[in-house]
Structure 1
Amino acid sequence: MEDATAPRADLAPRDWLEIGLQLLKDGGLRALKLRGLAQTLGASTGSFYHHFKDFDGYHAALAGYFVEAHIDPLIVALSASDLAPVERIRAFADHVRDHDMAQLALAMRAWGKSDVRAAAAIREHDEKVMAFLIAELVAHGFEPVEAEIRSYALLAIGLSQVHADEGIDRSVLREGLLTLLCER
């Protein structure tokens, strides 16, 4: 049996950051507590301090990790793909939906109201997502200003918590909105 006071050798900072994003997404900033992180990972708080100087340092790392680990690789992969521009946007939207990334972005935005590091991470997130969407829409044939407006709408819709009327299937609504905003 593992000594509860010894740091777990199998945990890396990434493990703590991933579980932190999950807890933040599921329960907001109030859920982001050291004890909850440690319990979720089956680790001691000593293991946490093996990787992070203090909880403030962890918050700083977590804010940066939000974009670095989830947005950057997605945009790089899609930008390098052989997909057509609108299909890249659809693949981005699918990934966001499949990984509940909009909920995480909303939790980050709420955190950003009280923490400048989280606010900076959200600005970076929005800038990168907007640049990706604009580039794809321009490549699809839209003028830059129109591409920017459509990109803003796509981002806003992606972050909204629109609840479709029971008379319309959410996937039909999603597909219709993507078509409306991406097609000429």
Structure 2
Amino acid sequence: MTKVASPRGVVRDRVLQAALELFAEHGVSGTSLQMIADRVGVAKASVYYQFHTKEDIVLTLIGPVFDDIARLVKIAEAVGSEEARRDVAISGLVELAVRNRSLTTVFFGDPAIDPLIRSHDEFAAAIEGFDNLLVGATPDDATRVAMTVITAGIYGAAISPHLADVSDDDLHRLLLETTSRLLVALNPAK
């Protein structure tokens, strides 16, 4: 009996889902294309047909997030004051981290991700633009530390297994409230 081939988009989606699951279990470096093929139940050649490298899979998974970051940077740069640009950036980061909880869980802190991002100009530019929005043109050490704590806290809350039972809507609202209080503490005169 001849096996009916799945449409390319269906297999591609299955490869991406399997890769995401395996990256969550083993990290990017600990996941092979063979493991992905085994999880999908196809030959390794079928994975190669969809994606030439594991890097291609990672980039496909994270690409839309970086497109969103680039759009966020453009929107925030159009806002008047440095403080307002920072508020837009933090609000956008909260939205992205919560909306993409599964990706955040997989990729936040994975040592293979940062060099991969930095090696692609469009991703590196989005990160640089976003970082500039957070810390401003001439950041002091206190601002740099505060923004690092805030961004790590946002990511940490999105991936925390202790908060997995918190709905996306509630987490979004609570992260905005918390970051707002932290920003007031950073600029008490305002």
After TM superposition, the score normalised by the length of structure 2 is 0.58
CA distance in 1, matches of 2:182, 2:131: 11
Q: Deviations over 1:147-177 (max 9, x none)?
A: 422221122213323847xxxx755642333
1:51 alignment counterpart: 50
Show structure 2 runs of 5+ residues with no match: 164-169
1:3-152 residue pairs with structure 2 within 5 A? 3=3, 8-11=6-9, 15=13, 18-24=16-22, 26-29=24-27, 33-36=36-39, 38-39=40-41, 45-52=44-51, 58-65=53-60, 67=62, 69-81=63-75, 84-85=84-85, 86-100=87-101, 101-106=103-108, 109=110, 112=111, 117-118=112-113, 120-121=115-116, 129=127, 131-138=129-136, 143-145=138-140, 146-152=142-148
Show structure 1 runs of 5+ residues with no match: none
Given that 1:17 and 1:65 are in contact with CA atoms closer than 8 Å, whether structure 2 keeps it comes out as: no
Distance 1:104 1:163, change over 3 A: same
After TM superposition, the score normalised by the length of structure 1 is 0.60
CA distance in 1, matches of 2:183, 2:125: 19
CA distance in 1, matches of 2:51, 2:89: 37
Q: CA RMSD in A?
A: 4.1
CA distance in 1, matches of 2:92, 2:124: 18
Given that 1:16 and 1:48 are in contact with CA atoms closer than 8 Å, whether structure 2 keeps it comes out as: no
Q: Deviations over 1:19-42 (max 9, x none)?
A: 255324653447753221x24xxx
